[in-house]
Structure 1
């Protein structure tokens, strides 16, 4: 439960229709099994104590009485179990029969949540036996214990207050107004669904979409446990399709027709932080109408089994990745298209270094020009060799510009920078930050002045990862008239260029782009060694794949450093040593807070994903904010 993680299980036990003793015994076995595997929320199917397919046997007093005895045994089974368990059974109240989800924990029956929507169409005939659940909570007597019952009930963990569980039953989710909507607006962060959904062709895909879609809409975890083998197959078949989702992502899914148990961890902290930033989420919440029932769980370390993606900005599947790349390139190009159209500009000026970022900026500019129907000669692609330029990057820049049909210009900055060194008294043999930044600012001056001369605009090349780290020269490469890469992380830049190379249909251009991809990332501001790049960015600021990981979890979910570190250790296990991850995590937080002044005056640029650092959009952060408490937490990690 530390760091907001709670392990959940969706279980389909083996049952026999109407054999409550057999079913209760198997449910108890499954509870013990799930508990041994660390599950804290355990969900069973609808009416699982009796079986969903009992038909008119639900009208038999003996079945109802034994189902209640089964519930009491299941509750007793949880006495030594650190979990909250949800099981389904028929329950009679004031002469009416209800299909209920019973919550049990620590030997007690916490409450009964009745089904709201009773399907009575096609193969379903629940209204023949059951009554729609009441909204207002009533108290029912179960062997001299008063137990709350009602559809507006939430179960709250006393030691982890953000863990609030709401329950609904099968058809409730399929209805136009699922109870889970009201549950979420009243504070529920995790939904459990006790289901008996029969299987028909194509239904599994729709069920999967319902569960993941509802978890996304409600910013919640969703645990769906369905009936399976053992139910009557007189007219239909049940597939035991168990699903666990979190905020639109399917975390676990069972193999159908196998009566499996699926496990995963739900990040409740992430869900509450998502809701915190979503200001429209609480509109219409009616938490005062709900009965809250407390349960207790121990606070302990949750072993993570869920996949932690080391590249959260980059889709893992090739098909999805290519689709994402095409979409991002289009967004970038459309942003520039509108700016060029608005300014009636027929000229774009791009500084081309032969590196990844300037390559992507040029490719995007070409797309925008093509969409506008402008001749590519209006793209002034300028290469500006300096003290650190190598033959490899220079030739790649020249060949790429020619392949794309842009207007090639070469302007060496060496003489101008040397004059500037003399003017300010800089020793050219001292390769300090002044030595580097003078070159970056000279290049920006050239680009800006060409844009003035040609009535054009300078296209920015810097990416979001560099902006997060402040790895840009203030009023140098930091500045432009429109920054097309400003919200693209470095790990994604590489894939965008790769995708363009594979789909451009020009073998010569593809060859050049592949060599750009194979070139070490460098600003090339220091003289080369033996003709090769001597200044490698990732040797100085750290691996971009680590920084993009840190950036994603810090800004997207607001995770504190200790949680980011924990996830990084798991995501990069076998790739980076613990001390390496720690070193660059500390470096990341120090740079992020110290460099906000550069992000506070960023040029315009299009947002392409869920994260951006524009001061006008996603990141309204003061330039003089103190990062002390974040760095303190990072330093505390080293002590451990």
Structure 2
């Protein structure tokens, strides 16, 4: 698998202080292991050839020559391997000693990057031995008989993979106000490596993790960090071997600390995702003028492993951890209530109207309205909730809607729409036994007309109930349930709606209300526009018609959020839903998603206002501007070529 993924490894091998021969042997073993597992990059800790804790031994010519000799062995022994090797060692130049990262590929040194910021405080004393790479050393050096690029102005750019460019920094470089990696990212580096020797004290590893996550997010990059392990000298310090692989603020892999065994973590980085993120970020539209970088070309080895070494979350909108999910639901609910609260205060209106079907979306919208009124100190009786049974309304959903309105202590209305719809069928000459789109949309528009007219009558706002997933699929009747005066659910995907309702049941309401909400959660998703069966149960189930919402939300997330191409979305879905959906099912509903997403843009082009709550919004005034007559042809072609 390629699809813009590259495999990186961070290795903390066994080590003996100042024993370059031993350390070189362990580095070679780790490189071979990483290469055999498909790693395209393997990075080692700071000064990994000598060890970090050599102290004044760094000034000994014996150690300096030993490091060079061991480097030569490493290069020779790994020359047949195709992965990029990044290791740390001291290097003398013009009577100065530099703490360097050496980048090796196929038996050649691609370049050498010295450390910029030399710590000389608290437990660190590096200025005693090392000079800063900012001291303007020469751009090239003679190393093992060859001319090699040298400096802090070097980036390495893959010639056979779009968007893959990597940069280097060493330990303290990350901890300063403006790390070198920030400039590297602004100049094209999507992959950042840090060779580190960060000792462990109480609480430091949490701060270090947050620092690395934040830098990867700020730089819209992947950040691979590897630090010295407990085999370093413990004369005064202890090193835990903390290693992290982060991508755009998320941890993909993290090592166990304080293990004397050699450790290696590995993960696959999505370079395409990072490049797409930068397309949308205006900070990356202009290169920084601080540094003019030299780009060193290299070939990244082909990845032949078809299995990804990273989790592909089948429900990207829904945190898997219950605590994180509860926090997410609370945050979204607060955004929704604050958005509606502002709209009510701005208009000076204290009344609103909402249609209640007994389904998930209208239930969530009602709960949002109720809590908004409580927050503003408004009388809930000014909430006019209307249930409008039609030809497909089941006894269960009708009962739930009536009970929910009663428990919420709102002003409730029951208006049967069947007679009005039959009269409309007669007026337009439509056979009421023809259950086509006209049959369905007449009901949806009749309901919207009632809500709008009632809002005019009482002087209030119609609150919309449609969610983000329905907007993506166009699963709404144009100028029917598609329209409102403020749409509180328009930023919430369907897979998250049920968790929001569950969260409300668990944390905001009493047991009677909770029981009704649990019944709503157990109800199949349906517009209830086609007649029920003989037992009065729902026959028309949305997911039987347009496909599972969990698949559509997955497609929406990867295509809109990260611009993934159809074949990549398919492969990711295949991995995420392995064992649940077969390949044909995934492809079938992806084709449906693409066709509907393109053909239904005209509905999104005239959406009512509503709050953005997450990273994806389809508002034509905000995140998504798409022509209504765009052609889906090349997207379907990519899918058909699988």
Pick the TM interval, shorter chain. Answer: over 0.9
Q: CA deviation at 1:229?
A: 2.5
1-side partners of 2:508 and 2:6: how far apart? 46
Q: CA deviation at 1:577?
A: 1.1
2-side partners of 1:545 and 1:137: how far apart? 56
2-side partners of 1:574 and 1:67: how far apart? 51
Q: CA deviation at 1:552?
A: 0.4
Which whole-Å deviations, capped at 9, do the CAs of 1:501-552 have from their partners, x for residues lacking one? 1112411100000000000000000110021100000000000000000000
**What TM-score does the superposition give when structure 2 sets the normalisation length?**
0.98
2-side partners of 1:287 and 1:555: how far apart? 33
Q: CA deviation at 1:78?
A: 2.8
Where 1:255 maps in the other structure, the secondary structure is: coil
Q: Does 1:576 align with 2:581?
A: yes
Where 1:576 maps in the other structure, the secondary structure is: coil
Confirm or deny: 8 A CA contact 1:348 1:451 kept in the other structure: yes
Q: Specify the alignment match of 1:141 in structure 2.
A: 142
Q: Specify the alignment match of 1:98 in structure 2.
A: 98
Q: CA deviation at 1:288?
A: 7.0
2-side partners of 1:630 and 1:136: how far apart? 50
Q: Does 1:261 align with 2:270?
A: no
Where 2:537 maps in the other structure, the secondary structure is: coil
Equivalences for 1:202-221 in 2 at 5 Å?
A: 202-221=203-222
Q: Specify the alignment match of 2:61 in structure 1.
A: 61
Q: Specify the alignment match of 2:470 in structure 1.
A: 466
Moved more, 313-322 or 74-83: 74-83
2-side partners of 1:396 and 1:505: how far apart? 15
Q: CA deviation at 1:301?
A: 3.8
Q: Does 1:334 align with 2:333?
A: no
2-side partners of 1:475 and 1:47: how far apart? 67
Q: CA deviation at 1:98?
A: 0.3
- Alignment partner of 1:525 out of 529, 540, 555: 529
2-side partners of 1:531 and 1:513: how far apart? 21
1-side partners of 2:283 and 2:484: how far apart? 35
2-side partners of 1:558 and 1:161: how far apart? 15
Q: Specify the alignment match of 1:271 in structure 2.
A: 274
1-side partners of 2:508 and 2:612: how far apart? 24
2-side partners of 1:385 and 1:161: how far apart? 55
* Structure 1 moving runs of 4+ over 6 Å: none
1-side partners of 2:383 and 2:625: how far apart? 33
Q: CA deviation at 1:66?
A: 1.2
Equivalences for 1:364-513 in 2 at 5 Å?
A: 364-513=368-517
Moved more, 544-553 or 61-70: 61-70
Q: Does 1:118 align with 2:126?
A: no
Q: CA deviation at 1:287?
A: 8.7
- Alignment partner of 1:297 out of 287, 297, 300: 300
Q: Specify the alignment match of 1:243 in structure 2.
A: 244
Which whole-Å deviations, capped at 9, do the CAs of 1:106-138 have from their partners, x for residues lacking one? 100111100011111111110000001145652
Confirm or deny: 8 A CA contact 2:6 2:303 kept in the other structure: no
Q: Does 1:187 align with 2:188?
A: yes
Confirm or deny: 8 A CA contact 1:14 1:229 kept in the other structure: no
1-side partners of 2:123 and 2:335: how far apart? 47
Q: Specify the alignment match of 1:47 in structure 2.
A: 47
Confirm or deny: 8 A CA contact 1:186 1:287 kept in the other structure: no
Give aligned pairs, total: 637
**Unpaired stretches in structure 1, ≥5 consecutive residues:** none
- Alignment partner of 1:540 out of 533, 540, 545: 545
1-side partners of 2:490 and 2:423: how far apart? 32
Distance 1:89 1:358, change over 3 A: same
Equivalences for 1:303-314 in 2 at 5 Å?
A: 303-314=307-318
Q: CA deviation at 1:280?
A: 2.2
2-side partners of 1:634 and 1:586: how far apart? 8
2-side partners of 1:294 and 1:538: how far apart? 49
Where 2:177 maps in the other structure, the secondary structure is: coil
Q: Specify the alignment match of 2:227 in structure 1.
A: 226
Which whole-Å deviations, capped at 9, do the CAs of 1:385-423 have from their partners, x for residues lacking one? 100011000000000000001101000001100000000
Q: Specify the alignment match of 2:631 in structure 1.
A: 626
Q: Does 1:173 align with 2:166?
A: no
2-side partners of 1:139 and 1:510: how far apart? 71
1-side partners of 2:446 and 2:180: how far apart? 63
2-side partners of 1:96 and 1:288: how far apart? 23
Q: CA deviation at 1:82?
A: 1.5
Confirm or deny: 8 A CA contact 1:167 1:191 kept in the other structure: yes
Moved more, 212-221 or 290-299: 290-299
Distance 1:504 1:143, change over 3 A: closer
1-side partners of 2:543 and 2:410: how far apart? 31
Confirm or deny: 8 A CA contact 2:329 2:499 kept in the other structure: yes
Where 1:466 maps in the other structure, the secondary structure is: helix
2-side partners of 1:4 and 1:285: how far apart? 25
Confirm or deny: 8 A CA contact 1:354 1:516 kept in the other structure: yes
Q: Specify the alignment match of 2:604 in structure 1.
A: 599
Q: Specify the alignment match of 1:27 in structure 2.
A: 27
Equivalences for 1:67-82 in 2 at 5 Å?
A: 67-82=67-82
Superposition RMSD in Å: 1.1
Q: CA deviation at 1:257?
A: 1.1
Where 1:111 maps in the other structure, the secondary structure is: strand
Q: CA deviation at 1:69?
A: 1.2
Distance 1:376 1:520, change over 3 A: same
Q: CA deviation at 1:101?
A: 0.3
Where 2:641 maps in the other structure, the secondary structure is: helix
Q: Specify the alignment match of 1:353 in structure 2.
A: 357
2-side partners of 1:118 and 1:476: how far apart? 65
2-side partners of 1:349 and 1:216: how far apart? 42
Where 1:52 maps in the other structure, the secondary structure is: coil
Confirm or deny: 8 A CA contact 1:186 1:286 kept in the other structure: no
Q: Specify the alignment match of 1:160 in structure 2.
A: 161
Q: CA deviation at 1:143?
A: 2.7
Q: CA deviation at 1:298?
A: 2.8
Where 1:281 maps in the other structure, the secondary structure is: helix
